[in-house]
């Protein structure tokens, strides 16, 4: 989140159906009673490949599956939508809430606040980024779950060789921006003067056009320390492609962040029941 505003726009979701969870596939995928698979967009679960561990042998992965199962298995949940509604595998992308007569617990928020997942987004699926990051920050503050595990540490932009070993993985990187360079197609945050081998962040012109205030703020990042999140790619040196402003955090920036009190009311989503299925 580049420059949080004093009066942020609340996360607004389009209410979806209410169904029962019949199976938990992994730490971010559930199966509903109509057979549809739902991916919990915004909460990235740990996987064995994060640590190059054998499948099924990575404790954080198993702990997240258990935590998700405890939250939703056999229970009725309601879905909330914003942005893209499906991924390339045909899974539904949704925010998920445990349906209860008295309250609606946000599943992604619970996983993030307990340190069982990391906040992330996909192109066209960055809704509720502010709230997701606020919940993750609570776990970071307490060093809960993943945030006490060295595999999920924040990497330094000054060590490109270590970053290159994380190629294809989702990581957090911190460093001081040396220069900001603009081309016709993108803007680049360079973390050294050797852009051909060192770490770089790239922001495509389409992202800039969709976020003009964010675009205007980038030139002022030179000399500032930032934290970025995303998947490491190899383009000369290691690179993160920024698809949304929420992938860049300026720790010293002013402004009020979303509070964890939003956990129980993350959006104006109202309970929605299926015909003949009162909530």
CATH assignment at residue 92: 2.40.50.90
Regions of the chain short of the pLDDT cut 50: 1-7, 254-279
pLDDT score for 9: 60
User: Do residues 48 and 90 both lie within one domain?
Assistant: yes
Q: Does residue 254 belong to any structural domain of this protein?
A: no
pLDDT score for 23: 98
User: Do residues 219 and 179 both lie within one domain?
Assistant: yes
User: Do residues 191 and 83 both lie within one domain?
Assistant: no
Q: Does residue 6 belong to any structural domain of this protein?
A: no
pLDDT score for 263: 35
Domain end point (choices 131, 148, 165): 148
User: Do residues 128 and 166 both lie within one domain?
Assistant: no
pLDDT score for 72: 96
Question: Which three-class secondary structure state does DSSP give residue 257?
Answer: coil
pLDDT score for 208: 96
Evaluate whether 234 touches 164 at the Cβ level (below 8 Å): yes
User: Do residues 181 and 160 both lie within one domain?
Assistant: yes
User: Do residues 120 and 244 both lie within one domain?
Assistant: no
pLDDT score for 8: 54
- Calpha distance 16→80 (Å, rounded): 5
User: Do residues 130 and 164 both lie within one domain?
Assistant: no
User: Do residues 142 and 155 both lie within one domain?
Assistant: no
The sign one gets for the Cα dihedral 245, 249, 250, 256 is positive
Alpha carbon distances (Å) from 22 to 5, 16, 107, 184, 228: 40, 18, 16, 49, 36
Query: How many domains, the chain?
Result: 2
Q: Does residue 5 belong to any structural domain of this protein?
A: no
pLDDT score for 235: 86
Q: Does residue 269 belong to any structural domain of this protein?
A: no
Q: Does residue 1 belong to any structural domain of this protein?
A: no
User: Do residues 181 and 131 both lie within one domain?
Assistant: no
pLDDT score for 271: 35
pLDDT score for 252: 61
Domain span at residue 201? Answer: 151-249
Evaluate whether 50 touches 57 at the Cβ level (below 8 Å): no
Statement: the pTM of the whole predicted model exceeds 0.75? yes
């Amino acid at each position: 989140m580049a420059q949080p505003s004093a009066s942020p726009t609340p996360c607004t979701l389009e209410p979806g159906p209410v169904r029962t969870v019949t199976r938990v596939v992994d730490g971010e995928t559930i199966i509903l009673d109509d057979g549809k698979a739902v991916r919990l967009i915004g909460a990235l679960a740990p996987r064995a490949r994060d640590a190059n561990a054998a499948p099924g042998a990575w404790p954080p992965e198993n702990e997240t599956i258990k935590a998700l199962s405890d939250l939703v298995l056999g229970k009725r949940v309601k879905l909330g939508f914003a942005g893209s509604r499906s991924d390339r595998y045909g899974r539904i992308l949704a925010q998920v809430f445990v349906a209860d007569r008295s309250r609606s617990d946000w599943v992604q928020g619970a996983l993030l606040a307990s340190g069982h997942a990391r906040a992330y987004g996909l192109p066209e699926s960055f809704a509720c980024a502010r709230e997701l990051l606020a919940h993750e920050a609570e776990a970071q503050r307490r060093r809960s779950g993943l945030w006490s595990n060295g595999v999920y540490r924040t990497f330094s932009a000054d060590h490109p060789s270590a970053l290159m070993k994380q190629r294809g993985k989702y990581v957090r990187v911190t460093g001081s921006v040396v220069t900001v360079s603009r081309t016709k197609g993108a803007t680049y945050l360079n973390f050294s003067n050797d852009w051909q081998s060192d770490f770089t962040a790239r922001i495509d012109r389409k992202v800039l056009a969709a976020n003009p205030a964010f675009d205007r703020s980038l030139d002022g990042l030179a000399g500032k320390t930032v934290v970025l999140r995303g998947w490491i790619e190899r383009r000369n040196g290691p690179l993160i492609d920024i698809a949304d402003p929420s992938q860049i955090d300026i720790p010293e920036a002013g402004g009020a962040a979303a509070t964890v009190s939003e956990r129980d009311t993350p959006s104006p989503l109202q309970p929605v029941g299926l015909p003949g299925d009162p909530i």
